[in-house]
Structure 1
Amino acid sequence: MAHIVVVTLGTRGDVVPFLALGSALRDAGHRFTIATHGSLRTHVEGAGLGFAALPVEFGTSGPLTSTELARVLAGHWLEVGRAVAAASKDADLLLLGASGWIGYHVAQARGVPSMGAFLQPLEPTRAFPPALLTTRSLGGWGNLTAARAFRLLGQAPFARQTAALRRELGLPPRSPAATFRQMDAERWPVLHGFSPAVVPPPADWPAYRPVTGYWWPPPGGELSPRLQRFLDDGEPPVFVGFGSMTGHQLSDLIHRTGCRAVVQGSAGPDRAGPDRAGADSRNVLAVGDEPHAALFPRVAVAVHHAGAGTTAAALRAGVPAVCVPFTADQPFWAHRVAALGAGPPPLRRRGLTWQRLAGAIEAARGCRPGAAAIAAKLAAEDGVGRAVAEITRRLPVA
């Protein structure tokens, strides 16, 4: 039995896919620990997996840009590195999310293998620009150069504390640029946890950094009785939800469109209680946390922020989407939805009116064939199975 430690930071959406991998690897006889924010402990332990707390939280005051996320994380980076080192004392493999790469240095010091496990397409390529930077192509050479420069620039806030951790771990000094060169030279593997039908693997990505397919969470979770009654009582509604983003002003626009709708998140009971005045009406129901896997197949259109997890859940359900991206990789996924014919072009959050929202919802209704086509492709994939096979063959031989 091997002990696999995952290091992942971000929102709940950055942890849920690893619950799927962890459950499969646990069933195969391995021990699986997820090192992440303390606020996500219940999600990890509820799945029957090991948990280790990392000493940083991003808070819930509103959407953070990639720069703001990096600033918060950098302020705790040395402490995070120490916590990863403590959590992986008996690890046989470190599996590192996109924000958990401090574990690469820990694995070096421990003398155990590590590999990346990314939910976004972060590998530099000529095929498209950096997903966290822009959706506008810079040309083949420009896309590749920008991605490499952006990747290196992204290490600047962490360089001093990473160097301090390497000293504590007894490792020689190594610059971020030298670290990337070492990763490439040793053919450091990375698993990409999204579908090749959604993001076709670029020709210049190496085979040891495959796109496996999505890592769907284990089935489970039922709709609340209140929501179940609403769904049973009329035609399929429009879903409006923005995950961890602060989207209540956008959500309120749905009332003016006249659509029958389910509004989840910051406009629902989590924000001001289930009886918030004006939240519920005959046609609009405000709800809290509801499982997307059970809800999305029953809605007509999903209006969301294009987070990686929400985008994947809507595509899997075959529901067309109206994307209103906020930050980070959300514009990338929003444009992929449109490119796949699973929704209209994304809407700009600023200056959005109910008339534009209503028009986009109507356009999305006509995208159901495109959404159904991509859902059929996703149903034929086994992303968890392929990822588990890739992980297993890199475990040390007993």
Structure 2
Amino acid sequence: MPKNFLFAVWAGGGAVPPVLSVARALRERGHGVRVLADRSLHEEVAAAGAEPIAWTTAPQGDTTDPAKDLIKDFEARTPLGAFARLRDRIVCGPAAEYARDTLAELRARPADALVAEHMLLGAFTGGEAAGIPLASLVTTIYPLPTPGAPPPGPGLTPATGALGRLRDRVMTQLMLKPWGKGLPALNAARDAVGLPPLDSVIDAFDRVDRLLVLSPRALDYPGRRFPAYLRHVGPRLDDPAWAGEPQLPEGDAPLALASLSSSFVNQRTLLQRIAEALGTLPVRGLLTTGPAVDPATVRAPGNVLVTATAPHSIALRHAAVTITHAGHGTAVKSLAAGVPLVCVPLGRDQGEVARHVELAGAGITVSKSASPRTVARAVDRVLHDPSYRREAQRLAAEIAAETATDRAVAELEALTERATRTDEDAPGGGTAEPSGPSRTLSN
């Protein structure tokens, strides 16, 4: 029986395409799907077959224009400063506005479930007040601390021995402490819709019925334990609607795909250094600048084709190596194609993704300040050491098995079916509240 899903997403760059991929898949299954989103995303939402709904009081952003970027983390001088911008401008600061818009939409047009990007705690607050099932979509490696792994963020290697475990405990506390500054705004949002306060912001991430991680389980630590309501459902591998037509440079030399963030992160000078590096190697370079950088501003050597966009799924069929900022989408699509990586993290979750790629043996990392010569050496190393391609192909096989069926869609359909049965069984035919997640841990 078709259901009605309300999605919520913000203009968060690489997090948008995987969320809309899930929305598209549900729509293709015959479900009704509408998406609360920034107006800058409405064309992309419509291309996914869903109905775009504009936020009315929540912030509106556009990551392709630096002046309209909501968090402007490229202006932050430290990782903590970048985190504070995300906390104060998306997760907690405007939580009341996101909650108000979400609840208003649900009251005007009820839905069978709310599905939102992981960081939109305000949207989940509105959904909790409406009493409907909640599903959170994590579009990267699970970003919160759990047993059996180092705290995410700094790109730490797994701990060994008592000192390593002590390191993890101390680092976890240091990482969680800055969330405390967002708690007053979050609790004010909860109070405004009649919900009780929480003891911590981290507790709010747990208040969902399903948490779906759109990342390969094989890329995470084998011994890591997760909450029982969390499911690894595999990555979304389709290209975004704005990817354009395929373009490949001429010739038969090995193809090196180079791609940094789809949003503005001051990446133009790094793109230039990567282009110069590829110009010193016997390769064909395909460098995609993304919507935020004009390709005409990158001076390309003769063996490098520079374009704003290209469907990576097609380019990766021919690629021998990917040079990337280690954004989750580009990294995982490369691994799914069996293509090893040279990672040049710029911030956000990218250092963590790069560390996991390295630990899997499927690539290496260089600094964002690396010279063209250093980048060229890294590319040459990955191209000529067969172990990197071998490990990338190993991960490709595991990703193929994980994505053989659409687990995200299956989980969301099951969530609404359980809610329907619960409603029917409720005394007097009334609506029963969602049971909430279990606090037990599973592998």
TM exceeding 0.5: yes
**Structure 1 match to 2:411:** 390
Deviates more, 1:356-365 or 1:112-121: 112-121
Aligned to 2:392: 371
Task: Please point out which of 63, 67, 74 is paired with 2:84.
Answer: 67
Deviation at 1:149, TM superposition (A): 6.2
1:271 corresponds to 2:293? yes
Please state if 1:236 is matched with 2:254: yes
- Give RMSD over aligned pairs: 2.9
Distance in 2 of aligned mates of 1:320 and 1:56: 36
- How many residue pairs get matched? 385
TM-fit CA distance, 1:10: 4.7
Structure 2 match to 1:362: 380
Q: 1:168 aligns to what?
A: 192
Cα separation, partners in 2 of 1:222 and 1:151, compared to 1, 3 Å: closer
Task: Give 3-state SS (helix, strand or coil) of 2:406's partner.
Answer: helix
Q: Deviations over 1:242-293 (max 9, x none)?
A: 1223322112123433133122216xx963464x5x7244212110111111
Identity of aligned residues (%): 25
With over 3 angstroms needed to count, the CA separation of the structure-2 counterparts of 1:124 and 1:92, relative to structure 1, is: same
Q: State the distance in 2 between where 1:371 and 1:324 align.
A: 17
CA contact (8 A) 1:129 1:143 kept: yes
C-alpha contact (below 8 Å) 1:222/1:294 kept by paired residues: no
For the 8 Å contact 1:19–1:217, the answer to whether it is kept is no
Secondary structure of 1:135's aligned partner: coil
Matching residue's letter, 1:315: L
Question: Aligned partner of 1:12: which letter?
Answer: G
Q: Does 1:48 pair with 2:49?
A: yes
Deviation at 1:38, TM superposition (A): 2.1
| Cα deviation, residue 7, structure 1 | 2.3
Letter in 1 for 2:272: D
Question: Counterpart amino acid of 2:61?
Answer: E
CA distance, structure 1, for counterparts of residue 176 and residue 62 of structure 2: 21
Instruction: Identify the residue that residue 84 of structure 1 maps to in structure 2.
Output: 102
Contact kept? 1:314, 1:321, Cα under 8 Å: yes
Answer yes or no: is the 8 Å Cα contact 1:201–1:211 preserved in 2. Answer: no
- Indicate conservation of the 8 Å contact 1:155/1:176, yes or no: yes
- CA–CA separation in structure 2 for the residues paired with 1:15 and 1:325: 19
Structure 1 counterpart SS, 2:366? coil
Please tell me whether the aligned partners of residues 145 and 152 of structure 2 are also in contact (alpha carbons under 8 angstroms): no
1:69 maps to a residue whose letter is L
Cα distance change of structure 1 residues 58 and 94 upon mapping to structure 2, 3 Å threshold = same
Q: Quick check: 1:329 aligned with 2:353? A: no
Q: CA deviation at 1:358?
A: 1.0
Q: TM-score, normalised by structure 1?
A: 0.86
Local SS of the residue matching 1:262:
strand
Would the alpha carbon gap of residues 381 and 273 (structure 1) be closer, same or farther in structure 2, given more than 3 Å must change?
closer
Taking structure 2 as the reference length, the TM-score comes to: 0.78
Distance 2:179 2:405 in 1: 29
Per-residue deviation, 1:324: 0.5
Q: Relative to structure 2, which stretch is displaced further, 193-202 or 58-67?
A: 58-67
- SS of the aligned residue for 2:367 comes to coil
| Corresponding residue number in structure 1 for 2:368 | 349
Structure 2: which amino acid aligns with 1:135?
A: L
Q: Which amino acid aligns with 1:131?
A: P
Matched, 1:195 2:196: no
Give, in angstroms, the shift of residue 145 of structure 1: 6.4
Which residue type is aligned with residue 342 of structure 2? V
Which deviates more from structure 2 when the two are superposed, residues 147-156 or residues 72-81?
A: 147-156
5+ residue gaps, structure 2: 67-71, 75-81, 422-443
The CA deviation string for residues 161-206 of structure 1, in whole angstroms up to 9 with x for no partner, is 32332232122333436x72x876x884311111112114645313
Of residues 101, 107, 110, the one that matches 2:130 is 110
**CA shift digits 1:52-100 (9 cap, x unpaired):** 2332326443754333222332553322222222333312211232211
Query: Which residue of 305, 319, 331 maps to 1:285?
Result: 305
Return the offset for 1:111.
Answer: 1.3
The letter of the residue matching 1:279 is R
1:298 to 318, 331, 335: 318
- Cα distance between partner residues in 2 of 1:35 and 1:189: 19
Distance 1:377 1:27 in 2: 26
How many angstroms does 1:22 deviate by? 1.5
Maintained 8 Å contact 2:36/2:54: yes
SS of the equivalent of 1:88 reads helix
In the alignment, is the contact (CA less than 8 A) between 1:221 and 1:294 conserved in 2?
no
Q: Is the 8 A contact 1:33 1:52 kept in 2?
A: yes
1:56 is aligned with what amino acid? Q
Listed as ranges, the matches of 1:128-147 within 5 Å are 128-137=149-158, 139-140=164-165, 142-143=167-168, 146-147=171-172
Which digits, 9 at most, give the CA deviation of each residue in 1:345-396, with x for residues without a partner?
x11113x111211110011112222222211221222276222222222112
208-217 or 283-292, which moves further after superposition? Answer: 208-217
What secondary structure does 1:99 align onto? Answer: coil
Q: Residues 270 and 394 of structure 1: is their aligned pair in 2 closer, same or farther, counting only changes over 3 Å?
A: closer
**Counterpart code for 1:21:** V
